[in-house]
Amino acid sequence: MPNVRLEHIKGSELAKRVAEAVRVEPDRFYKVTVRAEDEELSDADSLSAVAEIVSDRARERGLTPEILRDILDDA
């Protein structure tokens, strides 16, 4: 699911549950962003677990230590 951003949404038009959670004022306007949750990252129980997941994903996409070094050297 792609990120969705809704802008200039009147508070009275937001779903009741969302409105209650963020204490929406009915006549005020809001910008709302909705993102799909990454369950694998959400389930990670430590920073090192998150780093391992990100590293595995990068490796699956073809990122090698050499390519990473080249990227960082150019920065």
- Single pTM value for the model: 0.50
Mean pLDDT of 7-26: 82
Please state, in angstroms and rounded to a whole number, the distance separating the CA atoms of residues 22 and 20.
6
Would you say residue 40 has pLDDT above 80? Answer: yes
Tell me which residue has tokens 């996409």. 61
Number of C-beta neighbours around residue 62 at 10 A: 7
Tell me which residue has tokens 């990670």. 44
Q: What is the mean pLDDT of the chain?
A: 86
Which pLDDT band holds residue 1 (cuts at 50, 70, 90)?
low
Beta-sheet strands, E only, within 11-62: 29-34
**pLDDT in the model for residue 2:** 63
The string of pLDDT tens digits covering residues 45-69 is 999 999 999 999 999 999 998 998 9
Domain ranges of the chain: 1-36, 37-75
Cα-based torsion angle of the residue sequence 14, 20, 25, 29 in order, rounded to the nearest 10 degrees: -30
